[in-house]
Amino acid sequence: MKKKIELLSPAGDLERLKVTLLYGADAVYIGGQDYSLRANANNFSIEEIKEACTFAHKLNKKVYLTLNIVFHNEDISGVNDYIRDVANAGIDAFIVSDPFIIRYIKTNFPKVEVHLSTQNSTTNIEAVNFFKSEGVDRVVLARELSICEIKDIIDKTGIDVEIFIHGAMCTFYSGRCTLSNYLTNRDSNRGGCSQVCRFAFTIENNDQKFTMATKDLNASRYISTLMDIGVTSLKVEGRMRSLYYLATVIGCYRRIIDLHYHNKLTEEELIKEEKILSRVANRETSAHYLYHEADFTDQYYTGRQEVSNQDFLGLVTSYDETKKIVTLVERNYFEVGDEVELFTPSGKVYSFTIDTMYDEDMNRISVARHPEEIIKLQVDGEIPIYSMLRKRVK
Partner 1 sequence: MKIAVVPSSIENLDRYTKIGAKAFIFGLENFSINYPVVTISEIKKVIEENPNTEIFISMNKTIFNSELSSLEKILLELNTIPIKGVLFYDLSILSIYHKHKFNYDLVWHQTHMVTNYNTCNYYYDKGVKYGVLASEITKDEMIEIKKHTKMKLFTYVIGHSIMAHSKRKLLTNYYESMNQDYDHTPKIIEEKDKRYIITETKDGTCILEGNIMNGTSYLQELNDAGLDYGIIDGNHISDILLEKLISLVNDILEKNSTSSMQEIIHFIGNDTGFFNKKTIFKVKKDEKKD
Bridge pairing between strands 138-140 and 374-378: unpaired
Q: Of 18-26, 73-81, 275-283, 321-329, which part binds partner 1 (CB under 8 A)?
A: 73-81
Q: How crowded is residue 314: how many other Cβ atoms within 10 Å of its Cβ? A: 26
Contact residue for partner 1 among 111, 296, 361, 394 (CB under 8 A): 296
| Minimum separation from the CB atom of position 172 to partner 1 (A) | 4
Contact residue for partner 1 among 76, 271, 307, 367 (CB under 8 A): 76
176 counts as binding partner 1 under rule CB under 8 A? yes
Per CB under 8 A, does 68 bind partner 1? no
Q: How far apart are CA 246 and CA 382, in angstroms?
A: 21
Tell whether residue 284 is a contact of partner 1 (CB under 8 A).
no
Contact pattern from residue 108 through residue 147 relative to partner 1, giving x for each residue in contact according to CB under 8 A and a dash for the rest: ------------xxxxxxxx-xxx----------x-xx--
Q: Please pick, from the candidates 12, 24, 32, 175, the single residue that binds partner 1 as defined by CB under 8 A.
A: 175
Residues in contact with partner 1, shown as a per-residue x/- string from 317 to 336 under the rule CB under 8 A:
--------------------
199 forms part of the interface with partner 1 (CB under 8 A): yes
- What is d(CA 250, CA 19) in angstroms, rounded to the nearest whole number? 10
What's the CA gap between 318 and 37, in Å, rounded? 35
Q: Shortest CA distance to 23 belongs to which of 244, 251, 236, 245?
A: 251
Q: In this chain, which stretch among 190-198, 222-230, 318-326, 376-384 interacts with partner 1, using CB under 8 A? A: 190-198
Q: How far is CA 77 from CA 73, 80, 86, 110, 388, in A?
A: 8, 8, 16, 22, 44
- The distance of closest approach from Cβ of residue 170 to partner 1 in the complex, given in angstroms and rounded to an integer, is 8
Torsion, Cα of 343, 348, 352, 354 (10° steps): -40
178 binds partner 1 (CB under 8 A): yes
Calpha distance 141→150 (Å, rounded): 8
Q: Which is nearer to partner 1, 48 or 144 (CB)?
A: 144
DSSP at 364: B
Q: Are 56 and 21 in contact (CB under 8 A)?
A: yes
The alpha carbon torsion through 143, 147, 151, 157 (nearest 10 deg) reads -10
Q: Give the footprint of partner 1 on this chain (CB under 8 A).
A: 39-40, 69-76, 98-100, 103, 120-127, 129-131, 142, 144-145, 149, 152-153, 171-173, 175-179, 181-183, 185-187, 189-192, 197, 199-204, 206, 208, 210-212, 214, 289, 294-296, 298-299, 301
